A and B are shown apart, each in its own frame.
Chain A
């Protein structure tokens, strides 16, 4: 840069913004750092595709889970509002205190998730109940003035997007006006009267059989509002309730008792509070895991350590589903970034197609995979040579291995679910109550080696018939619901077991008669010595003849059947060749990013500065020495 000035001095060069805005396309970041990386563009695209699918799936789940809550909320709003209109001439309603209908929405401590919930709630309300939905946050409203100002500006925005944009210029000037409840209610009157006239033409406000739609005010974090503001607002708005039909929604993170703690009786008596509780976030996590990881729909899988890190952050720190999903996204990104072979991490037909186009380098990568090497070592020597030298043969083999991996997963999840049905209701839950706990143990080590598994089987051997039947029924449903044919045999076995258990009933009765006969024979009139002797004899006899009943035999069979299923299908993923393609296992990077320890970071920075500075060691050490 230069100046045309002749004199000496300081000149300010403003940074050229246009130059900076040329951004590197995101996929280029995938190239950086790793020179040997292959197919980076394709990998990035695959990542984006999978992430989009996962994201839409989670959104769909969220919607489903919230549906119940929202439906009941909408019902409450509609009911309370129609109450407004209907019996204003009733004797009781004239004398009664006017109460502001209030919904206390208990959402749990995972505050980071609330935003999403409120956003979708607002949308739902706007579509179904009223165009006037306003949500406020405590940090925006330190006092009454700001509170009303925010409320008013948001309300008028609501209105603007209903009407045309003619008012935009007015908007600017309105910002300066000091709002009071009076001005708000006059505004409301004017707007509703105006829309009344226009109503026939409007399509956007659907169920407007009410001539005055209510104003819904959502207080997102009710606990952090100052009590004074809240109290004053409630007092004021209850006085204006006739002209300004307000409905409050309190977002509560802890427990509904805070309403009473924050508001004195004189104020809380102005509210007509009804409680709504959202789903527990732990259940939410279980469904998310169930739909995202315990399925063959998405090829991407997490290794035990990574899953552990993510669930621990959830359970120990924040209970936040959003954070969990962010963590999942990070691991997905990290997987596609660091693993060149992740290009094959897509659905099976596509992966097969891609194998054909693999470069020599990539083939070499495959050969270097530890799991693949282990696989090669087990093969016959000719095949070994072929695998290591012949590219085409390698590709064919990889295709079949990938297919095997796919089959392995389908079976794995089916059997896992089946096992979960059996173990989830055992006393003391040796293998955990949730399927994710079972999944974690299965990933960690061979489940048949674990003590918990042994004790679970032990407990299964002690269950009563109807409990076992119920479990079998559920299990059967699991198999039925899956369309896969691989385990059709198993489903048949389970059905057989069910039938056998049912047929036991009749046989059991016969046996009972048997025992009663032998009992009656034992009791005869004798002297003491003989009695003692006969009793001893009977005892001996019973011990010897303590054969198993049919039920016990069948139960034993069932348990061993389950055991064989677990042995056959619940193998460790590490034993499968090419598992590195699908499994992300770099737990330490994830931990570094998500659950950083400041002290450790400081330590590394002081001990080993080039770790952060990204300068070569020699250069740096020279610098230190010279000082």
Chain B
């Protein structure tokens, strides 16, 4: 089929496999096909164009959108209903709550004349989301042909290998098809394919060549590369538009674009500055160094006590409790050198992650690191609650620095201050630790302070 080859590039073997699997229209196909591969390896695109150009009856559903079972099933049924009924007819919304209903309704719909005697395809994009739904769902879809006794094939598209999917019970092994990453040659070919109408294909191909030379080492995502190509193309054309160079003058063009692309790699690719800002910069021809990226604003202004509470929590979670006496007391007595630093302690505490600590310890450290006397007022107590929420966030973000135990939370509620926590909630994530911390923190930590900030 020449038409298909023009639109789907570099996926010949996968397409032919799929085509042979599908067979003739009325043939029963394999009950379920599992396609996996990295992002932007053409899974969705190939399946979709294949089904469209062959004009096979199919339903395409993105599982991210269907976050409940009901939404998923209803969407499939409604789309199917839409397929079976001719255009003019107005079909009512189908409601479907369980998989059992789904099978029943599915049978009903596929009885229709237009769907009879041919394979119906259900494509579930981002199938990894199915794993988070009800456990019977995945086996159910795998055996849909068997359950409904209809000519139906379910195609799963995912970025995760099949082994991570395999359910415990009722599993039917699907046909697994792997989409390998595009090679640099493939990328070149695909990217050059969509050249703008104003310029020749060769000119654009030369541009793509330069672009890949710069970006291929850091990014192989086709979508992203394509985006970058479009974004930087006006700059590449600039000498041609101005009449300073011809389209064939590759060397001159390369000189013009290369430093520009390197800058783009640092800022646009990491989304330090948005693409619209980048386009504006290109037009104004200013130095992108002037525009600060998002990460330039790491400084957070914090109230005095919140700052110290954070520091205290940080110290409490990373220092072993027995060292407190040594670091925060004036007359701490002698320490035997041999006992103090054992071998296993030499591994950085940061690698082990934060440890739980009781709330009292946090308070004690706080009182000792703040210069002036701290009156234990409700305002301060309420901030402990706030800092606990931070902890939670840090846990999720895996940038943990502080962690408070359940006992801490319990102590909190004993104080009866949970009401006041509504009054003040801050979200001071990662505060810049002031220099004063250096003096309080023990030697093993002060050396690795930077680690926490990464």
Nearest chain B CB to A265 CB, angstrom units: 7
Give the docked Cα–Cα distance between A223 and B396 (Å).
11
Inter-chain contacts of A112 with B (CB < 8 A): 423-424
Give the docked Cα–Cα distance between A280 and B399 (Å).
27
Q: Tell me whether A99 and B274 are in contact (CB under 8 A).
A: yes
Binds B, one of A207-215, A248-256, A523-531: A248-256
Binds A, one of B135-143, B160-168, B318-326, B379-387: B379-387
Q: Tell me whether B294 and A97 are in contact (CB under 8 A).
A: no
Inter-chain contacts of A275 with B (CB < 8 A): 294, 297
Q: Is the interface of B mostly helix, strand, loop or mixed?
A: loop
Contact of B294 among A96, A104, A318 (CB under 8 A): A104
- Determine the interface band of chain B, counting residues with CB < 8 A from chain A: 35 or more
Are A255 and B274 also in contact (CB < 8 A) when A224-B393, A318-B379, A597-B375 are? no
Nearest chain B CB to A219 CB, angstrom units: 13
Contact of B429 among A111, A226, A254, A599 (CB under 8 A): A254
Judge if A236 is at the interface, Cβ distance under 8 Å.
Answer: yes
CB interface residues, A 64-99, toward B, < 8 Å: 80, 83, 91-92, 95-97, 99
CB interface residues, B 204-234, toward A, < 8 Å: 223-224, 226-227, 230-231, 233
Give the docked Cα–Cα distance between A564 and B66 (Å).
77
Inter-chain contacts of A102 with B (CB < 8 A): 274
Q: Tell me whether B399 and A261 are in contact (CB under 8 A).
A: yes
Are A92 and B230 also in contact (CB < 8 A) when A224-B389, A254-B430, A257-B298 are? yes
Binds B, one of A176-184, A432-440, A450-458, A543-551: A176-184
Interface string of A87-128 (1 = CB under 8 A from B): 000011001110101101010110110000000000000000
Contact of A223 among B230, B271, B306, B427 (CB under 8 A): B427
Binds B, one of A17-25, A33-41, A309-317, A342-350: A309-317
CB interface residues, A 461-480, toward B, < 8 Å: none
Q: Tell me whether A95 and B297 are in contact (CB under 8 A).
A: no
CB interface residues, B 402-451, toward A, < 8 Å: 415-417, 423-430
Q: Tell me whether A227 and B230 are in contact (CB under 8 A).
A: no
Binds B, one of A266-274, A357-365, A492-500: A266-274
Are A221 and B271 also in contact (CB < 8 A) when A319-B301, A319-B303 are? no
Judge if B29 is at the interface, Cβ distance under 8 Å.
Answer: no
Inter-chain contacts of B223 with A (CB < 8 A): 97
Task: Please give me the residue from chain B that is nearest to A79 by CB atom.
Answer: B276
Q: Tell me whether B276 and A223 are in contact (CB under 8 A).
A: no
Inter-chain contacts of A261 with B (CB < 8 A): 397, 399, 429
Judge if A598 is at the interface, Cβ distance under 8 Å.
Answer: yes
Judge if A144 is at the interface, Cβ distance under 8 Å.
Answer: yes
Inter-chain contacts of B270 with A (CB < 8 A): 260, 265
Judge if B295 is at the interface, Cβ distance under 8 Å.
Answer: yes
Q: Which one of A104, A144, A259, A313 has the greatest number of beta carbons of chain B within 10 Å?
A: A144
Inter-chain contacts of B194 with A (CB < 8 A): 95
Nearest chain B CB to A186 CB, angstrom units: 11
Q: Tell me whether A96 and B424 are in contact (CB under 8 A).
A: no
CB interface residues, A 226-241, toward B, < 8 Å: 226-227, 232, 235-236, 239
Inter-chain contacts of A232 with B (CB < 8 A): 64, 67
Give the docked Cα–Cα distance between A566 and B197 (Å).
77
Nearest chain B CB to A526 CB, angstrom units: 58
Give the docked Cα–Cα distance between A106 and B300 (Å).
10
Judge if A143 is at the interface, Cβ distance under 8 Å.
Answer: yes
Task: Please give me the residue from chain B that is nearest to A280 by CB atom.
Answer: B301
Q: Tell me whether A274 and B274 are in contact (CB under 8 A).
A: yes
Judge if B299 is at the interface, Cβ distance under 8 Å.
Answer: yes
Judge if A353 is at the interface, Cβ distance under 8 Å.
Answer: no
CB interface residues, B 32-86, toward A, < 8 Å: 39, 62, 64-68, 70-71, 75
Q: Tell me whether B298 and A255 are in contact (CB under 8 A).
A: yes
Q: Tell me whether A598 and B381 are in contact (CB under 8 A).
A: yes
Nearest chain A CB to B370 CB, angstrom units: 10
CB interface residues, A 177-226, toward B, < 8 Å: 178, 180-182, 221, 223-224, 226
Give the docked Cα–Cα distance between A83 and B381 (Å).
49
Contact of A269 among B224, B294, B306 (CB under 8 A): B224
Q: Tell me whether A109 and B306 are in contact (CB under 8 A).
A: yes
Q: Tell me whether B230 and A256 are in contact (CB under 8 A).
A: no
CB interface residues, B 222-280, toward A, < 8 Å: 223-224, 226-227, 230-231, 233, 270-271, 274-277
- Interchain Cβ contacts under 8 Å between A and B, 6 examples: A95-B194, A106-B297, A144-B67, A180-B65, A257-B295, A313-B379
Q: A111-B424, A257-B298 are in contact. List 14 more A-B contacts (CB 8 A).
A: A96-B226, A96-B231, A101-B276, A108-B301, A109-B303, A111-B427, A145-B68, A223-B427, A265-B271, A274-B277, A277-B297, A313-B379, A317-B306, A318-B303
Nearest 7 A-B pairs (CB), nearest first? A144-B67, A272-B274, A316-B304, A256-B294, A223-B427, A317-B379, A91-B196
Q: Spell out A's residues near B (CB within 8 Å).
A: 80, 83, 91-92, 95-97, 99, 101-102, 104, 106, 108-109, 111-112, 143-145, 178, 180-182, 221, 223-224, 226-227, 232, 235-236, 239, 253-262, 265-266, 268-269, 271-275, 277, 280-282, 313-320, 595-599
